[in-house]
Amino acid sequence: MTIDENLLVLLLALLLDRIAGDPQWLWSRVPHPVVVFGAAISYADQQLNPSSLTGSQRRMNGVAAILTLLLLSIAAGFVFDRFFALFGLAGIVLEAGLVAIFLAQKSLADHVAAVATALRDHGLAGGRAAVSRIVGRDPETLDEPAVCRAAIESLAENFSDGVVAPALCYAVFGLPGLLAYKMLNTADSMIGHRSEKYIDFGWAAARLDDIANWPAARLSILLIAAGAWIRRGISPCREAIRVGMRDGGLHRSPNSGRPEAAMAGALNVQLAGPRIYGGVVVTEPMINNAGRDVATAGDIEDGVSVFYASCMVLAGLTFGLFLCFL
């Protein structure tokens, strides 16, 4: 496809995902593509990451595994691209449906908003249960403000790697780029953490994911700022940019802190700080330390509002670029 066709497909996919989200009736009958990616990653893990190997051997196997998986994803993208091209306008619609599967606007917002609803309807226990579905930290260690912070952080981080990054990859590289990105991002979530088992085997996946998400994380600051301007006014917009640029590097991830800091500025709340994963305390400074130190369910809802406005800006930019390339 040409760049203008890619942008048209992306615009349709963004609108479709915003309206329909993830159709559970479909994924209850057929496996989601990300589930297929996960099965391939698990197979590579089982075959190439036995405990009997040395760390250097695991690292080499991890490099070979992720490169092979990426090449397979790129090849699959080319096959789908050629297949859809056979159907003309109908192929554009079909491709938009496939691209929408890999975006996470409505599903992400629904899961995050459910945390605020659970807190209001079922108290702290309900909030902990709801937030445990979207974050990896130990829910029993979270008080109500920490539950709210966790939900807002997940919203901001996943805006970057669940919406902006796949949109960028598709706009520039088409289906091969989109499928390769989703394979890499899935691999990072499965084997890219620094546990004893994966610190070597997942090294390449984690480093490549950092590189792939670098542009989207920084673009997300501007998109969140634009969303804050639409929903909350010029001052939150300025704070989103200021805090995003100043505090984005405080996070242990080279990318996740950027959208989180922008959202912290937009909502005037503190995010990040010390938290517990699997019984291990991760100590980090607070992002937006001058912001409010008690986040609430209302802040989650405000964050979702900014998130949707930011997604709208992304769709608007896509439409504008499409017109430019016509």
pLDDT at 118: 97
Length of the chain: 326
Q: pLDDT tens-digit profile of 98-132?
A: 999 999 999 999 999 999 999 999 999 999 999 99
Strands, DSSP E only, in the chain? 271-272, 275-277, 280-282, 286-287
- The answer to whether 81 and 68 are in contact (CB under 8 A) is no
User: Structural domain boundaries of the chain?
Assistant: 3-325
Contacts of 42 (CB under 8 A, 6+ apart): 190
Across the chain, mean pLDDT equals: 94
**pTM score:** 0.95
Contacts of 186 (CB under 8 A, 6+ apart): 34, 37, 38, 41
DSSP state, 163? I
The pLDDT of residue 27 is above 80: yes
Phi, psi (5° rounding) for residue 282? -100, 115
Nearest residue to 212 (alpha-carbon basis) of 257, 251, 177: 177
Q: pLDDT tens-digit profile of 29-71?
A: 889 999 999 999 999 999 999 999 999 999 999 999 999 999 9
Question: Residues 39-69, buried b or exposed e (16+ Cβ, 10 A)?
Answer: ebbeebbeebbeeeeeeeebbbbbbebbeeb
DSSP state, 287? E
314 vs 85: CA distance, rounded Å: 26
Q: pLDDT tens-digit profile of 169-199?
A: 999 999 999 999 999 999 999 999 888 999 9
262 vs 234: CA distance, rounded Å: 14
Strands 275-277 and 271-272: unpaired
